[in-house]
Structure 1
Amino acid sequence: MQSIVHIALVVKDYDEAIAFYTKKLNFNLVEDTYQPEQDKRWVVVSPPGSVGTTILLARASNPEQESFIGNQTGGRVFLFLNTDDFWRDYEEMVARGIEFVREPQERPYGTVAVFKDLYGNLWDLLQLKEDHPISKRMK
């Protein structure tokens, strides 16, 4: 069996990224370990209740990496945050100042809206319908 453990997200600053993900998105800080031999930190966050893939907040370490902060996928939606209650999470995120760039819509696969993270990466907030293949896998 194999699984994807982390997705690396290039960030400008560890502490501002941690603050955004833990305070604005209500994620859990899973790990924050200093690695002195490389003068960097191993910072991992995940949504509350998540048991799958986590996000590794990786500080850009050179100009080439810095150029990808906020645009890791060329302007496409990069990450997909599934929820069991779309409207609860949408309203909480709006109240915390999250910027939605596409309003909620009903789609054949579920309810979805697009928001930006602190650097401009695009995310889908979505609640998949119960008969969606991914929803069936999560049960």
Structure 2
Amino acid sequence: MLKKLAHVTLYVRDCEEALQFYTDKLGFEKRMDSRMDDGSRWLTIGLPEQELEIVLHDPTDWHSEDVAQQMLALVGKNPMWVWQTDDFYSTYEQFRQNGVTFLGEPRDVMYGTEAVFTDLYGNQYLLLQTVSFS
């Protein structure tokens, strides 16, 4: 029986630039940063007070050249993730000030307020504040 989702892997071209983007621009924290005996790097980030960790994975550190190239071809093609906030416009403005690129203006929809943004590799994320249907 499954217990929880613990990690999600995000393929990146450069662990340092990805770490800087996610911590400096989006407010994630670095959780684990370890080097293996073979020199490969285990680097994870997460949101404060949330268990789920994102593995920033540079395939060139872990895999043969041909496998690494196949994985690098997937950079920027992850499925859209939805990041929820309790204060949409404050978060939106902070992200914009941090240089995060939004693909359009915020829009009000029946379930809340949303806007799509991208990371430095072109992965798309949805910033969302839901409304209560009480």
TM-score w.r.t. length of structure 1: 0.84
Once the two structures are TM-superposed, the CA of residue 97 in structure 1 deviates from its matched residue by 0.6
Which residue of 2 is the match for residue 135 of structure 1?
A: none
Which residue of 1 is the match for residue 54 of structure 2?
A: 55
Once the two structures are TM-superposed, the CA of residue 72 in structure 1 deviates from its matched residue by 2.5
Once the two structures are TM-superposed, the CA of residue 35 in structure 1 deviates from its matched residue by 1.4
Deviations 1:72-125 (A, max 9, x none): 24xxxx211111111111000000110000221111221110000010000001
More strand by share: 1
**Secondary structure in 2 matching 1:102:** coil
Which residue of 1 is the match for residue 19 of structure 2?
A: 18
| Aligned positions, number | 126
Which one-letter code corresponds to 1:130 in the other structure? Answer: S
Q: RMSD value over aligned CA atoms?
A: 1.6
Once the two structures are TM-superposed, the CA of residue 60 in structure 1 deviates from its matched residue by 2.2
Once the two structures are TM-superposed, the CA of residue 57 in structure 1 deviates from its matched residue by 0.7
Q: How does 1:1-139 map to 2 (within 5 A)?
A: 2-37=3-38, 39-49=39-49, 51-61=50-60, 62-73=68-79, 78-131=80-133
Instruction: Return closer, same or farther for 1:131/1:52 CA change in 2, 3 Å cut-off.
Output: farther
CA–CA separation in structure 2 for the residues paired with 1:131 and 1:5: 30
**Secondary structure in 1 matching 2:70:** helix
Extract unaligned runs of 5+ from structure 2: 61-67
CA–CA separation in structure 2 for the residues paired with 1:131 and 1:7: 30
CA–CA separation in structure 2 for the residues paired with 1:8 and 1:41: 13
Larger radius of gyration: 2
- Report sequence identity in percent: 34
Extract unaligned runs of 5+ from structure 1: 133-139
Runs of 4+ in 1 over 3 A off after TM superposition: none
**Secondary structure in 1 matching 2:122:** coil
CA–CA separation in structure 1 for the residues paired with 2:127 and 2:114: 6
TM-score w.r.t. length of structure 2: 0.87
Once the two structures are TM-superposed, the CA of residue 26 in structure 1 deviates from its matched residue by 1.3
